[in-house]
């Protein structure tokens, strides 16, 4: 059979090239459309989750408005805390942060806001970003046990064990029966190779709190009712 001559010899090559290019363009378009549709579906799901989590928030706001004797500022603050928590649970991080910062405009030293902001970043593994908020808690209240503990947890996650130990020593000075702090300190000592100190912390945790209660002997009984309301707003 004679070989094709002239332009006939290149037609199969050109056709194959065009088919390859068209196939590549088609596959790219399909993948691009799939990614867009997947992102849209995820966004729609997040919006649905946010609406779902907002239902009890709106109900609480209605109860505050009708039955509770609260000022407008208190009702607004309660609503904003609920709204930020709904954004957080629906995984709208930036929107949740924006709402919490809105609360800080009227209450610049709100410990529940600082704790919740720290918790937002802590749960997402952004420990470096969470640390300043826990430090603000401690500056606002040097004896706030949760601020010390979660700051130490950030240091622990970042393998900064000596910094965690220093933070835990501060909280144990004024709350010596804080079992979680003692256990975490034991783990920190274990990580830096000081087994004797680690064992001492573990034994102290057991003897101080054999029933697994974090706080013994009504240490926080002196807190006012207003403090309890702040604790209810904390979503860590």
Where does 109-236 sit in CATH, by number? 1.25.40.10
23 confidence band (pLDDT: 50, 70, 90): low
What value does the mean pLDDT take over residues 120-141?
A: 97
The pLDDT, as a whole number, for residue 12 is 45
pLDDT at residue 18 tops 70: no
Whether residue 38 is predicted with pLDDT greater than 70 in this model: the reply is: no
Cα–Cα dist 82/69, whole Å: 19
Residue 175's φ and ψ, nearest 5 degrees, are -140, 70
Non-local (6+) Cβ contacts of 145 within 8 A are: 171, 175, 178, 181, 215
Classified as helix, coil or strand, 179 is helix
Q: Give the mean model confidence (pLDDT) for residues 115-143.
A: 97
For the segment 191-210, the average pLDDT, to the nearest whole number, is: 89
Greater confidence, 109 or 23? 109
Least confident of 18-27, 78-87, 196-205: 18-27
Q: What is the pLDDT of residue 229?
A: 54
Q: Percentage of residues in the chain with pLDDT exceeding 90?
A: 64
Taken in order 43, 45, 48, 52, the sign of the CA dihedral is negative
Residue 121 has pLDDT above 80, yes or no: yes
Categorize the per-residue pLDDT at 206 as very low, low, confident or very high, splitting at 50, 70 and 90: confident
What pLDDT is attached to residue 15?
A: 52
CB-based contact 202:182 (threshold 8 Å): yes
Res 3: pLDDT: 47
Q: 145-185, pLDDT tens digit by residue?
A: 999 999 999 999 999 999 999 999 999 999 998 999 999 99
Question: Which residues lie closer than 8 Å to 156 by C-beta, 6 or more apart?
Answer: 164, 184, 187, 188
Q: Determine the pLDDT at residue 35.
A: 54
Task: Return the pLDDT at 43.
Answer: 74
Share of the chain above pLDDT 70, in %: 71
**Domain extents for the chain?**
109-236
pLDDT band at 58 (very low <50, low <70, confident <90, very high): very high
Does residue 44 have a pLDDT over 50?
Answer: yes
pLDDT of the residue at 208? 78
3-state helix, strand, coil in the chain (%, to 5): 75, 0, 25
pLDDT at 233: 64
């Amino acid at each position: 059979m004679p070989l094709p001559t002239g332009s006939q010899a290149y037609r199969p090559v050109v056709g194959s090239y065009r088919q390859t290019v068209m196939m590549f363009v088609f596959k790219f378009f399909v993948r691009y459309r799939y990614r867009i549709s997947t992102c849209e579906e995820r966004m729609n799901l997040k919006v649905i989750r946010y609406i779902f989590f907002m239902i009890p928030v709106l109900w609480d706001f209605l109860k505050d408005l009708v039955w509770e004797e609260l000022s407008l500022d208190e009702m607004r603050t309660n609503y904003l805390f609920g709204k930020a928590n709904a954004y957080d649970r629906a995984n709208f991080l930036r929107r949740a942060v924006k709402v919490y910062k809105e609360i800080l405009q009227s209450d610049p030293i709100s410990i529940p806001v600082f704790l919740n902001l720290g918790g937002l970043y802590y749960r997402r593994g952004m420990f470096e970003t969470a640390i300043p908020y826990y430090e603000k808690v401690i500056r606002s209240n040097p004896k706030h046990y949760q601020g010390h503990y979660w700051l130490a947890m950030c240091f622990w996650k970042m393998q900064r064990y000596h910094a965690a130990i220093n933070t835990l020593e501060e909280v144990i000075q004024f709350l010596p029966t804080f079992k979680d702090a003692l256990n975490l300190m034991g783990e920190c000592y274990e990580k830096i190779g000081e087994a004797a100190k680690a064992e001492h912390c573990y034994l102290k945790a057991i003897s101080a709190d054999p029933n697994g209660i974090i706080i013994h002997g009504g240490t926080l009984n002196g807190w006012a009712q207003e403090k309890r309301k702040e604790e209810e707003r904390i979503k860590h």
